[in-house]
Structures are given as C-alpha cells and as structure tokens.
Amino acid sequence: MRLARALDAATREALVERMRFYRELGLTEFYRRPVEMSGDEARAEREFDERVAAAANEPVMAAGEGAIAAPPPSVVQSNFFGEEAAIRSKKGIVAQPEISAAVPAEERAAALKAIREDLGDCTRCALHKGRHTIVFADGSATARLMFVGEGPGADEDAQGLPFVGRAGQLLNNMIAAMGLKREECYIANIVKCRPPGNRTPEPVEANTCSPFLFRQIDVVRPQVLVALGATAATYLLGARQPLAGLRGRVHAFRGMSLIVTYHPAFLLRDPRQKKEAWADLQIAMKELGLKKAGTRE
C-alpha cells in the first residue's frame, strides 16, 4: 500500500517502532484500539508495579554495599526490536553446540575468564567494526538465574557491561522484585558487540558470536535461564517463532529451565505488557523455589 504523502522522519520512526511492537507480540495483521483491562489484569499490573517500585527502593540496590548502583536514565536499549528481522529472516540458525562437561563451582570464574581470553579482541564478525567495547557479561559465575538479551546498546557499548541503560534499570528492578540481587544473576547477550544503529544482529553475526555464549551458559549452568525478547529466544532455542507462542511456559534447555519473556526495553515502551512479564518471572521464581521476595517455598 502506498501512502498518499511522505511521512516526516519522526512520524516514520514512530510508525516503525509501533510495527516492532506488533512483531514483539507475534502479530502481523491487526489494528489497535484502546483496550480496557479486566479487574484481574489491572490487579496483576498493579502488583507488578508495586513490587518493582518497592524493589527499586530496597537497600540491595543502593551503591556502596557491593551492589550495583542504579545507572542514570539514558538511552533506551532499543536494539531488541530486531524481532521484526529475526522473525522475517529465513536464513539458518546454527545448531546448538553439544553441552560441555560441568565445571566445579569454584572453577567457574576462571573458566569464564578463559572464554573471555579466547574471545580476545574479536573480529570474527562485522560487528567489531563499529563497537567501542566488547560486552562479555556481568554477574556471578555461580548464578542460579541467568538473563540473555539481544545485544549491547549505546550505554552498554560505552561501559562494557550488559543492561546498564534505562532497560537495564528496569531489569535490575525486575530482578529485585523476584527477591534477588543483580550480582547474584549472570547477564549476557546473543552478540557481544553493538550492532550499528541498534539494529537486529544478522544471522551470521548471531551465529558467529553465540557459541561463546553457549560456552558461558555451560560454565555457569544456571538453574533457570530467562530469554529477553524474540532474538534471544530465537538463537537460544534454535527456532524462529513468535514470542507469543514461546512465553508462559518452561522450555527444556541444556539441562535447565528456559523461560521466554519480553525485553525490558519493550516494557518501557508498552508498560501494559508488564503484567505478562511478571507472570513469566513468576514461572521463573517457581522453578527457582522462590515464593516471594527474599523467601523460599
């Protein structure tokens, strides 16, 4: 369909972002109108908001106690919006490597360091050309809970750490709402270098970089892995499916439980989906034996 007039850049960008929302939800042909939430939905969203807000004020999130300080508000990590390309592309996804032998807990930090050294000043794919910093990972080598996103954004590229922009702040609060601290988790991405313009990684880039991620996963061997967004789900599970068909259940993955949910950047742009994300995180909490913040069943 041709538009009767050219759109200005801002409108076009807004339209593109809206379409990416649709892809995130796994929908391709529909129109949108205001939707009234049911009482249950409204209560679920309120509960999520309250827990995230409460968690954000917890001392565990304060600087100076070994915790990670809240990063300043900055650019939204929007590169996860590659769902559109990830779902559209028909190019292949490389098969998962075989699961490596388990590494004793006390040797995991050294094993991760060895993977980082293997990676070196990596130029294995074209993404190295535009990066400032390789964003390897952040968190505990013995984490029970791991998060995997799509790739670094501008803040991550500048700081060399995953999830440090506004989306990272929300992820921190979501982790705290689960009763955990960020430093108890392990956080990484499908690709370790920022794609130009925060575009979705091309299959060749994701397939080139992800073997290092699989090695990290096998070393940390978390009990639960949460895939944040469609690109992470695609390359971890090895199949392209709309996010809507992957959420809300536990996937068996390399001897652990994998749960798929929305990318935090998506939740920043469409807060109505927070109740769905909270439902996914509650599945993760159940798998971890966490009943509510700070307690176990």
Nearer to ligand SF4, 127 or 177 (CB): 127
216 binds ligand SF4 (CB under 6 A): no
127 binds ligand SF4 (CB under 6 A): yes
- Distance separating alpha carbons of residues 297 and 295, to the nearest angstrom: 7
Candidates 21-29, 115-123, 178-186, 226-234: pick the segment binding ligand SF4 (CB under 6 A).
Answer: 115-123
Per the DSSP assignment, residues forming a β-bridge with 260 are 227
Verify binding: residue 191, ligand SF4, rule CB under 6 A: yes
Range list of H helices, 178-263: 203-220, 230-237, 243-246
* Rounded Cα distance, 29 and 27, in Å: 6
The residue within the footprint of ligand SF4, chosen from 77, 173, 200, 208 (CB under 6 A), is 208
Rounded CA separation 181/140 (Å): 10
Q: Residues 67, 109, 122, 293: which binds ligand SF4 (CB under 6 A)?
A: 122
Amino acid at 187: I
Instruction: Tell which one of 51, 144, 182, 192 touches ligand SF4 (CB under 6 A).
Output: 192
Q: Is 86 helix (H, G, I), strand (E, B) or coil?
A: helix
Q: Which of 93, 134, 259, 281 binds ligand SF4 (CB under 6 A)?
A: 134
Stretch that binds ligand SF4, among 120-128, 163-171, 238-246, 254-262 (CB under 6 A): 120-128
Q: Check residue 132 for interaction with ligand SF4 (CB under 6 A).
A: no
Whether 79 and 200 have beta carbons less than 8 Å apart is answered as: yes
Q: Which class for 92: exposed (0-12), middle (13-18), buried (19 or more C-beta within 10 A)?
A: exposed
Binding site for ligand SF4 (CB under 6 A): 119, 122-125, 127-128, 134, 191-193, 205, 208-209
